[in-house]
A and B are shown apart, each in its own frame.
Chain A
Amino acid sequence: MKKNDEFYVPYIDGSLGSKTKKTLKRFTFIAIVVIVIGALIFSFAQKPFKNSTFELTSATKITGTYHENPYPMLRVEVADNTFKNILLLGFGKSSANPFLEKLHSEVKNLNGKTLNIEGNLIYYNGKTLIQITDDEKVTLKNKKTSLALQKELISKMTLQGEIIDPKCYFGVMKPGKGKIHRSCAVRCISGGIPPVLATTDNNNISQYYLLTDLKGNPINKDVLSYIGKPSEITGIVEKMEDWYIMKIDADDIKIISENSSIY
């Protein structure tokens, strides 16, 4: 060890010698330079975040026709004869169902009924979702039943993409896709949030498919081990206005070796 005449003893005043002080100043300077360089590198090197939105602190009231195909949605008229199907979600990593139970107990079949819902909007890339945090904020506006929503059969398709949880992907988390987010997506889908297949074509245009089993029922638990991994999925695709639905057999999902990416 390199020794000098100076010997620092914490409880002896004046034991901090000039050579030691110089070393300490140099060390502090280098440590601060490392801190600054680290901050520059770690902040500038982040990939760009997408412009998705989660209105956590503001509530919005929406009115529309309730339907379950099979996941709870509200069909809202956003312009003359133009409709948007807003996916209903619960608080945290849960489905909207616990927040609809109260109304379900009062009205046996909610399908086709007009509801008022107040919650936090989530939106990105043409899709809108709403988080319900209080069952008192879900009220029946009209008992009259509207016509059932029409679904259009497209074809049997094989698509490559990643199963995501739409709540995080469309705004609550950034990034809401890929390996870092995988555990969260598993929790969300396990908690009842509908699984969605997100695909991106060569022109970087994304498309989204609500996944159900072959009978059109929720498929949450069966897809847990495939979430957040690039996959190839074959199923029957239907169009439900602004959403696609893909009916699949979870056993047919193939994990592909492509790298998972954030966006």
Chain B
Amino acid sequence: MGLDYQLVLWNKHKKTYDKIIVLSMLLYIVLFAVITIAFNSETSIETLVIRAFGSLAIIMLHIILAIGPLSRLNSNFLPILYNRRHLGVSMFIAALIHGGFSMFQFHALGDVNPVYSVFTSNMDYGSLTNFPFQVLGFLALLILFIMASTSHDFFLANLSAKVWKRLHMMVYFAYALIIAHVFLGAFQQETSPFTIGIMIIGFLVVASLHLITAFKERKTDRVKTEEKEGWLTVCNISEIQEDRAKIFTVDNERVAIFKYDGKLSAIHNVCKHQGGPLGEGKIIDGCVTCPWHGYQYLPSNGQSPPPFTEKVTTYELKLDEETVYINPKAFEEGTEVKPCKI
């Protein structure tokens, strides 16, 4: 958490993370270049750059898309999620080099503006095999640019977490555009079953991980419950671990019910920072701590401890013998609710 905005709030883990990103990218580029020059030496430097950075960006995008569901399935992956935006910006840089070189190579130094040329040099929009695939890549790059340029807490705070999250969910649209860009472009001419195969495997891995996560979370959302005088049955108290939470869905909103210091408190499950699942977090120093970036909230009022100002909605709980009940009506963000004593 930070009060003011800096370009990057460096720490030891971020530095290690970034070193691994840079070295891996260099490893890919060097390997690609050395193999191409050694075994296909008639290549041109521009083609080498376009292909090396384009294929690198696609591989990185698959890794980025796998991190989200992996972290939802196993909390051990969370430190990778924590600094994922650095990986995203690095992937955008690789994609920009690919797109920039391609635009210069194929569309610049001509009789019209290069951007206009991207959209008009091939007008076969009605044909699948002749489709102007470069348009798809251009649009994907535009989305990645918007995402990379807003990958900072300044934009997160000013756009609001909801808008920011929606904006960054566009990565899936960009992914679809990129898949179409490759299959309607490069793979029309470079028809190796190995390259096509690796792309299909990549897609299947990403899609499977997302589906597994979605099915698992759907189970949580569809837990049947009983209503008793306006209160909903949540669970037996023994099902909630100390300093941890149970996620329960009320009126299509997920609520995190925490057990700590002989008390129970319920707050909205969605972190105001990046929409992280607070119910997968932990009570540290008396505060609910988000598993994604460590943002904190007081369990009794859903407010970040001063001087921070984030607030989430709160809920009322009651305990009848060993059964936990929740009042489905949410209080205003930051409303103090007396914790339920165990």
Residues of A within 8 A of B (CB): 1-4, 6-12, 16, 19-20, 22-24, 27-28, 31-32, 34-52, 54, 91-94, 173-175, 178-184, 186-188, 190-192, 225, 229, 259-262
Contact = CB atoms under 8 A, between A and B. Distances in A.
A174 B49 CA distance: 12
Contacts of A49: 40, 42-44, 47
B97 interface: no
Contact of A16 (B13, B109, B198): B13
Given A2-B74, A94-B111, A39 B122 contact: no
Query: For chain A, what secondary structure do more than half of its interface residues adopt (helix, strand, loop), or is it mixed?
Result: loop
Interface string B10-38: 01011000001000100110011001100
A97 to B, nearest CB: 12
A2 B216 CA distance: 11
B302 interface: no
Contacts, number: 202
A43 B34 CA distance: 9
A181 B76 contact: no
Interface string B38-60: 01101110110001100110010
- List the 8 shortest-distance A-B pairs measured between CB atoms, nearest first: A92-B109, A45-B192, A23-B76, A187-B110, A39-B31, A183-B121, A43-B35, A49-B42
30 contacts: A2-B74, A4-B76, A7-B281, A8-B79, A8-B291, A11-B11, A16-B79, A23-B77, A31-B24, A34-B62, A35-B28, A39-B31, A39-B55, A41-B198, A42-B198, A44-B35, A44-B194, A46-B36, A46-B40, A49-B43, A92-B109, A174-B42, A182-B121, A183-B121, A184-B107, A186-B121, A187-B107, A187-B121, A229-B130, A259-B188
| Most-contacted residue by chain B among A23, A180, A190 (CB, 10 A) | A180
B124 to A, nearest CB: 8
Interface of B: 1, 11, 13-14, 20, 24, 27-28, 31-32, 35-36, 39-40, 42-44, 46-47, 51-52, 55-56, 59, 62-63, 70, 72-80, 82, 105-112, 117-118, 121-123, 130, 132-134, 185-186, 188-190, 192, 194-195, 198, 216, 244, 280-282, 284, 289, 291, 293-294
